[in-house]
Amino acid sequence: MLDDEVDQLRAAGERFDQGRLDEATTMAAHIRRLVHRTDDSPALIDGLGLGGRLTWVDTAGVPSPKTACATACLTLTKVSPRARNHREFVPKMGLYPPAPIRTRDGGQIDRGSRIPFEHWWTNPVIRDVDGTEYTRKQLVLALASRPGSARDPETWAASNALRASATLSAPVASNPVLASIRQIAYEVVQSITQQRTLIDDAATPLAG
């Protein structure tokens, strides 16, 4: 079941890369099922019984407290082919520079290092023009919202937060949300791929 979800996440990412930007919501739904736990629904990753042993690839770091400007740590910008002098956000994928990134406690690690899940899930990765910060968790829950999910307070709060942001409610090419979801999907796939032996070893007793 875990492998099926990861395969579907990878396939949705490939479709996004081909220009189907609506696949961001599909990716968010797969990420939610893989890692987000609620009282009613455990995360698929919890079924492995690995607890905190799995760590998660961080290509973003956290925004610097020394700057007040808007920041999108999971993405790059490029000149849009659709509009002269207009820049659009794109996921970094594996093309991030080897420069160190800031951790939540003010330290530095190499970009692409793995960090504990709670840090990865709840670190701020976007700061909008008003200075409000958003986490991977907020982005994923907001994009993965579905009928009935409004009853989940965390999903409701995440969706409202994005709608309230002048930056993140802007037209698609002008805001970093969809590209950030693609990068989060990349991080999830890389995290699971890099720890495949650990995951397979945990699953072996279940298979027997």
Residues 6+ apart with CB under 8 A from 145: 155, 158, 159
Spans of all domains in the chain: 2-207
- List alpha helices for 20-128, DSSP H: 23-35, 117-122
- Please check whether residue 144 is in contact with residue 28, taking contact to mean a CB–CB distance below 8 angstroms: yes
Residue 126's H or E segment, with its range, is: strand 124-127
* Token code pair at residue 91: 């996921």
Q: ∠162-164-165 over CA atoms, to 5°?
A: 70
Q: What pTM did the predictor assign?
A: 0.89
Name the band, by pLDDT with cuts 50, 70 and 90, for residue 1.
Answer: confident
Instruction: Estimate the share of the chain in helix, then strand, then coil, as percent rounded to the nearest 5.
Output: 50, 15, 40
Q: 83 pLDDT exceeds 70?
A: no
Q: What are phi and psi of 155, to 5 degrees?
A: -65, -45
Q: 62 pLDDT exceeds 60?
A: yes
pLDDT in tens, 109-153: 999 999 999 999 999 999 988 889 999 999 999 999 765 555 567
To 10 degrees, the CA torsion angle through 9, 10, 12, 14? Answer: 170
* Token code pair at residue 112: 């692409």
- Please check whether residue 58 is in contact with residue 194, taking contact to mean a CB–CB distance below 8 angstroms: no
Q: 207 pLDDT exceeds 60?
A: no
